[in-house]
Structure 1
Amino acid sequence: MSKYINSTAGSVRFILKEPNSDKITPIIFDFSFGRGKRLKCATGFKIHPKFWDSKNQRIRAVSTISNREEVNAKLRDIETSFIKSVSFHHNQGNDIDRKFLKQIFSNLTNRIENESEDKSIDFFEYADGFTEDKQRHIDKTKTITLSKITLRAYKQTIKKLKAYSKSYDPNLDFDSINLEFYYSFIHYLENEGLSLNTIGKHLKNLIAILNRATEEGINTNLAFQHREFRRVSENTTSIYLTTHEIEKLEKKDLSDKPLHEKARDIFLIGYYTGQRVSDYNGLGINNIRTFEGRSVFEIVQQKTSKTVYIPIHPKLTTIFKKRYKGKMPSKMPEQLINKYIKEVARSVKINEDVFVTRTIGGKKNTDSIKKYKLIGTHTARRSFCTNAYLSKMPVIDIMAISGHTTEKEFYKYIKVSSQERAIKIADSAFFQ
């Protein structure tokens, strides 16, 4: 007998095919083994979701189910025997692919492998399971709001795909997602009146789902990897506020409008820290550190998990002392910040015309929009980066605060005209 312990990275789950059904639904065997190796097939057992314990992956202790112990024991046997068999072949150096796994499962359960006993997962079954997995991950890890927003975006994409399928292709599945589908789906979304960038986000989500399904061996149709099957996008009109406009916001007396005042102050925190709204909205005393007598914000950026340190600007210190007893304004819903900061900007006459070009419903439209209408929580961060650059702060220092990882990414982000950049270059030592 070997003295060494052999192991496998594989894991088994038993899940319901339709966990939200009001009827009985099959219990599915779900095995993952390394990157891109996954097997899902029917166990032959069915149960009503209300009798299923999803945490323990077994049938609940219900007196009306006479064979509960027998079925649960069978599920345990399948799990134990399957893992043992896969581990043995893995440690023997055998190539463990999905076909091999299916054969192990088939032999184990004494079934002849066919369509009725190993039913393939169709696209919408997989897509719904994809979002359920992400939801379970969020619930388990208490993941940040950004992940919940991403999950909602996936669900919206799947909803659009189901609506498309209902109208154009009732049999939409993995094998029918090709270039013909790609252009048809874009046309459908254009007729829905969606902007080009919104269409691009739906395509991005679809490609992410297809990539995952391909890695797990569920999808074998690689038409989506064609160079034409890609996310579409166009440059958006993003504005920044000049230092003069920021000063106008700062000086506006809003003591008779406490909500507007609070929204403006949170916006200024965003401007003087250069962070995303998810990081600057809700900062507190526990985010302050002192180094060599200097107070700084310590922020773990939610999107990147990177820790950044930002000197606390004297103007923020004044705001905290004057209006918040030395503390910081409490967190405010982002939609309210967006609403009130626009109204404050309008009141101080940040109202120059900005020409915005967007592709909506497949047609380019150019509109003249007042600048204050384009201001939102993200304008604070973009304004910091742009004004810090124009003030001749070294780009590497700005990036250390903003969290941009490459200069190419940074220069695409800031809003500096060719004339402004030329003036900045003219002030460099080379031209003196």
Structure 2
Amino acid sequence: MNSINQTTGTVKFRLKEVNSKKETSILLDYNFGRGNRIKFATGFKVEPRYWNNAKQKVKAVSTISNREEINKSLLNYEAEFISAISKLDELERQNKNILKSLLSKIIRKVEKKEQKLLTTFFEYADDYIEKREYQSKHLSSVKLSAITVRSYKQTVSRLKDFNKQVKYDLDFENIDLNFYYAFIGYLEKYNYSTNTIGKHIKNLRTILNRATEDGVNKNLSFKKKEFKTVNEETVSIYLTENEIDALYNVDLSKTPDWELARDIFIIGYYIGQRVSDYNGIKMSQIKVFNSREVLEIIQKKTGAKVYVPLHKRVRQIMNNRYNGAFPPRLPDSDINEYIKEAGSKAKILTPITVTRTKGGKTKTIEVEKNKLIVSHSARRSFCTNAYLSKMPVIDIMAISGHSTEREFYKYIKVTPQERAVKIADSAFFKN
């Protein structure tokens, strides 16, 4: 059969109208999975009675003098098309316009119009983001979150603001250490935190690395040691079991927004997931194993599938306030705002010392603990309290999705004193 199966898809030839009494077009069909398909006219026509569907070619009949020419052309089209596809990257292989353009060039001998070369930094950066955005939406094999795409957009937007206000005439050739310090100074002037500045430098380096691989950028100043990502350790708090109890039991019925945020947060605590996985859980995720309710979660960030026992408090929240269902989804920014208010009402007021660098100036202040609670505190609190409760680390990691113990121990917030008490409770010291 005149058919080639590749990881990219399947090429076949067929007639446009198989029941026609007259000549009908021979089409090239390309199927590349999940309902993705294109068809393209080969420019040849034949009566259906002269077409061999099994072998996908014109039958050997004396009345068709150019049958060999047609069949040879079909074979050539197929071979050239498969060869051209093999040279595309994964993103391009999913783009129907690119595929049809290839067929135009091969079959109709239509040369692709010379594409505008992405010669400037901003042209390349915008194109890079557009491709990453397409990947995050359409390619399940590419683990790239919408949050990451948004981060790239923010970085390029800040660079454009910098370029406009400073009149830097930014391009590949002048992205050097002079630019590096000028850009950091600009961001500090507008009171960006050290970690936000570090994020923008990291994203810029990613774009420059790709541009270098693509042969668009020749300036390697960004690889110098001084052209580094900056960061400072943030204060990442966890709530103790007593504080979780206080948050769970506090009456928030007069402030429905706070109550909803609290309920979502508590559910996040008891399932140990990121906010993207615990905010907006569906009933269909509940599975039953050996008469126990378990949540099946495919983590959005990693794609890992984890199973978490449904805690009785999660069930109580569902039954008491949401007719046995999960709470409705709340925007992450609202959770971060309302959970602080709920924490204040629950008297989570322990003073925490915080050192922050903003606008190039470092300040040390004391803030109440509730003001530091964010959606991610739920997951960190679960991991830390589960560890202190002597749950085996391997079991905690099976829920949280941490891939290594080293990564896990860096993540949890356990003081040396808490760890010493946990160790003192071990069989070694008890004996």
TM-score, length of structure 1 as denominator length: 0.73
| Cα 1:349–1:137 shift into 2, 3 Å | same
Identity over aligned pairs, percent: 51
Partner Cα separation in structure 1 for residue 220 and residue 310 of structure 2? 51
Bigger shift: 253-262 or 357-366? 253-262
Cα displacement string for residues 332-353 of structure 1 (whole angstroms, at most 9, x for unaligned residues): 2222222222111111211121
CA contact (8 A) 2:286 2:296 kept: yes
Bigger shift: 386-395 or 338-347? 338-347
CA contact (8 A) 2:271 2:308 kept: yes
Partner Cα separation in structure 2 for residue 10 and residue 422 of structure 1? 63
Question: Amino acid of the residue matched to residue 393 of structure 1?
Answer: M
Partner Cα separation in structure 2 for residue 74 and residue 388 of structure 1? 56
Aligned pair partner of 1:257 in 250, 255, 258: 255
Structure 1 residue 393 and structure 2 residue 421: aligned? no
Please report how far the alpha carbon of residue 239 of structure 1 lies from its aligned counterpart in structure 2 after TM superposition. 0.7
Partner Cα separation in structure 2 for residue 73 and residue 282 of structure 1? 41
Partner Cα separation in structure 2 for residue 387 and residue 204 of structure 1? 33
Secondary structure of the structure 2 residue equivalent to 1:350: coil
Partner Cα separation in structure 2 for residue 73 and residue 273 of structure 1? 49
Cα displacement string for residues 366-409 of structure 1 (whole angstroms, at most 9, x for unaligned residues): 11111111111111111101101111111111111011111121
Secondary structure of the structure 2 residue equivalent to 1:219: coil
Question: Amino acid of the residue matched to residue 420 of structure 2?
Answer: A
Q: Which has the larger radius of gyration?
A: 2
Partner residue in 2 for 1:328: 326
Cα displacement string for residues 240-260 of structure 1 (whole angstroms, at most 9, x for unaligned residues): 111001111111122333332
Structure 1 residue 268 and structure 2 residue 296: aligned? no
CA contact (8 A) 2:143 2:303 kept: no
CA contact (8 A) 1:356 1:369 kept: yes
| Cα 1:398–1:180 shift into 2, 3 Å | same
Partner residue in 2 for 1:407: 405
Whose RCO is larger (CA < 8 A, sep 6+)? Answer: 1
Partner residue in 2 for 1:281: 279
Question: Structure 2: any 5+ residue segments left out of the alignment?
Answer: 1-71
Please report how far the alpha carbon of residue 322 of structure 1 lies from its aligned counterpart in structure 2 after TM superposition. 2.1
CA contact (8 A) 1:306 1:403 kept: yes
Partner residue in 1 for 2:207: 209
Partner residue in 2 for 1:160: 158
CA contact (8 A) 1:274 1:382 kept: yes
Secondary structure of the structure 2 residue equivalent to 1:310: strand
Aligned pair partner of 1:368 in 366, 369, 375: 366
**How many pairs were matched up?**
353
Partner Cα separation in structure 1 for residue 245 and residue 390 of structure 2? 19
| Cα 1:339–1:119 shift into 2, 3 Å | closer
CA contact (8 A) 1:239 1:375 kept: yes
Question: Amino acid of the residue matched to residue 336 of structure 2?
Answer: N
Structure 1 residue 313 and structure 2 residue 311: aligned? yes
Secondary structure of the structure 2 residue equivalent to 1:76: helix
Partner residue in 1 for 2:41: none
Partner residue in 2 for 1:97: none
Structure 1 residue 416 and structure 2 residue 410: aligned? no
Partner Cα separation in structure 1 for residue 371 and residue 298 of structure 2? 30
Partner residue in 1 for 2:124: 126
| Cα 1:269–1:80 shift into 2, 3 Å | farther
CA contact (8 A) 1:260 1:344 kept: yes
Question: Amino acid of the residue matched to residue 403 of structure 1?
Answer: G
Aligned pair partner of 2:104 in 48, 60, 76: 76
Question: Amino acid of the residue matched to residue 226 of structure 2?
Answer: E
Partner Cα separation in structure 1 for residue 251 and residue 324 of structure 2? 19
Secondary structure of the structure 2 residue equivalent to 1:400: helix
CA contact (8 A) 1:144 1:302 kept: no
Partner residue in 2 for 1:188: 186
Secondary structure of the structure 2 residue equivalent to 1:121: coil
| Cα 1:341–1:7 shift into 2, 3 Å | same
Bigger shift: 316-325 or 290-299? 316-325
Partner Cα separation in structure 2 for residue 215 and residue 345 of structure 1? 49
Partner Cα separation in structure 2 for residue 142 and residue 305 of structure 1? 9
Please report how far the alpha carbon of residue 205 of structure 1 lies from its aligned counterpart in structure 2 after TM superposition. 0.8
Partner residue in 2 for 1:235: 233
Partner residue in 2 for 1:290: 288
Question: Amino acid of the residue matched to residue 250 of structure 1?
Answer: Y
Partner Cα separation in structure 1 for residue 288 and residue 101 of structure 2? 59
Question: Amino acid of the residue matched to residue 416 of structure 2?
Answer: S
| Cα 1:325–1:143 shift into 2, 3 Å | farther
Partner Cα separation in structure 1 for residue 84 and residue 337 of structure 2? 50
CA contact (8 A) 1:273 1:310 kept: yes
Structure 1 residue 381 and structure 2 residue 409: aligned? no
Partner Cα separation in structure 2 for residue 333 and residue 166 of structure 1? 33
Please report how far the alpha carbon of residue 118 of structure 1 lies from its aligned counterpart in structure 2 after TM superposition. 7.7
CA contact (8 A) 2:258 2:338 kept: yes
Partner residue in 1 for 2:352: 354
Question: Amino acid of the residue matched to residue 150 of structure 1?
Answer: T
Task: Give the CA RMSD over aligned residues.
Answer: 3.4
Structure 1 residue 429 and structure 2 residue 419: aligned? no
